[in-house]
A = this chain, B = another copy of it.
Amino acid sequence: MTITPELHNSRFMKAARCEATDCTPVWIMRQAGRYLPEYMAVRSKTTFIDLCKTPELAAEVTLTAREVLGVDAAILFADLLPILQPMGFDLEYVKGEGPVIHNPLLEASQIDRVKPVEDVSVLGYVFDAVKLIRKQLPADIPLLGFAGAPFTLASYAIEGGGSKSYIRTKTLMYTDEDAWKALMDRLVESLSRYLLAQIEAGCQAVQIFDSWAGCLSPSDYRRYVQPYTKKLIDSIPDETPVINFLTGNPALLPDQVAAGGQVVGIDWRIDFADARKIIGDNRAIQGNLDPISLYADLKTLEARAKDVLDANASHPGHIFNLGHGVHPDMNPDNVKALVKIVHELSAK
């Protein structure tokens, strides 16, 4: 995918390459979400999964959120899990309960049931949404694609839903490393095709969400997870920045960095300045305000945002974000205020 000069020189893309910008770019994880009345207006007419699968609606909520917040990047409205459907998992979004997989991988012996996605056109609605969004976005606003990281998707496929302790996932990992490897390889193969097709359709950068890897010890992450995340990131051409996001365990950071990604996404559990020391000067960092800061009064919110900005003041490679997604009961005015605060405080 060729990239226009406007996009190449956009705040987000420059910061991702650690080049100086007029002010720090900002976007908000889950920015097109339930806290926004504009989103709820669309969502009220359909189901969550139909919203994901209808390119016009997915495009609408993506574009509206970008515009009302005034953020420096749009992120495709989609979900982490639908890629599991063509891999053989029976995924359903149950009202009030969230996603459920009716046939989770309970035994290592079932691994041959899991098929890599050979032809990603079964997820064509995602790429159609990307095309629609790119067409309507301002010329200097990049569109981010995304996917779940192999570990996070493997956990979902094995647990069948959310989990507190990842008992089944870790038990399979510990007791049948061959089956684990087979599962992770098939996920990497599928996810790579999926992300490349998003880029081909018009995304300028992609984020990999390892939302659940924080439950792992560093040695388990190195042995069972990092090689697969690295293989996935290595499969993305260098000209498209990858945001390697992981939450829940700052002790994984050195190994997360070694897995790759021009941008390292971190949560609030680590001081930004310490993260910069570990990550070094050659990568951009995305993060890392505690999302609960948005519930405080504006003066406190500003002080907390300033702490994050100040911690990176001497380095151009910073994309401001929360350390995790914005909460559904958030007042959208506070999110808008945060975007303004970041732009104003960081203006050169």
- Quick check: B217 and A174 within 8 Å, CB to CB? no
A272 to chain B, nearest CB (A): 9
Task: Report the separation of the CA atoms of residues A333 and B214 in the bound assembly, to the nearest whole angstrom.
Answer: 29
Which of A34-42, A90-98, A164-172, A191-199 lines the interface with chain B? Answer: A164-172
Task: Report the separation of the CA atoms of residues A269 and B252 in the bound assembly, to the nearest whole angstrom.
Answer: 8
A8 in contact (CB, < 8 A): no
A297 in contact (CB, < 8 A): yes
Query: Interface on A for B, CB 8 Å cutoff?
Result: 165-167, 170-171, 174-175, 214, 216-220, 249-252, 268-271, 274, 290-293, 295-297, 300, 304, 307, 327
- Quick check: A217 and B268 within 8 Å, CB to CB? yes
- Cβ contacts A to B, 22 pairs, < 8 Å: A165-B291, A166-B292, A167-B327, A170-B290, A170-B295, A171-B292, A171-B295, A171-B296, A174-B300, A174-B304, A175-B295, A175-B296, A175-B300, A216-B269, A217-B271, A218-B271, A218-B274, A220-B290, A250-B250, A251-B251, A251-B269, A251-B271
Task: Report the separation of the CA atoms of residues A279 and B88 in the bound assembly, to the nearest whole angstrom.
Answer: 47
- State the main secondary structure of chain A at its contact with B: helix
The residue of chain B having its C-beta at the shortest distance from the C-beta of A271 within the complex is B218
- Quick check: B174 and A307 within 8 Å, CB to CB? no
- Quick check: A167 and B295 within 8 Å, CB to CB? yes
The residue of chain B having its C-beta at the shortest distance from the C-beta of A254 within the complex is B274
Contact of A251 among B165, B171, B274 (CB under 8 A): B274
Contact of A270 among B251, B291, B296, B304 (CB under 8 A): B251
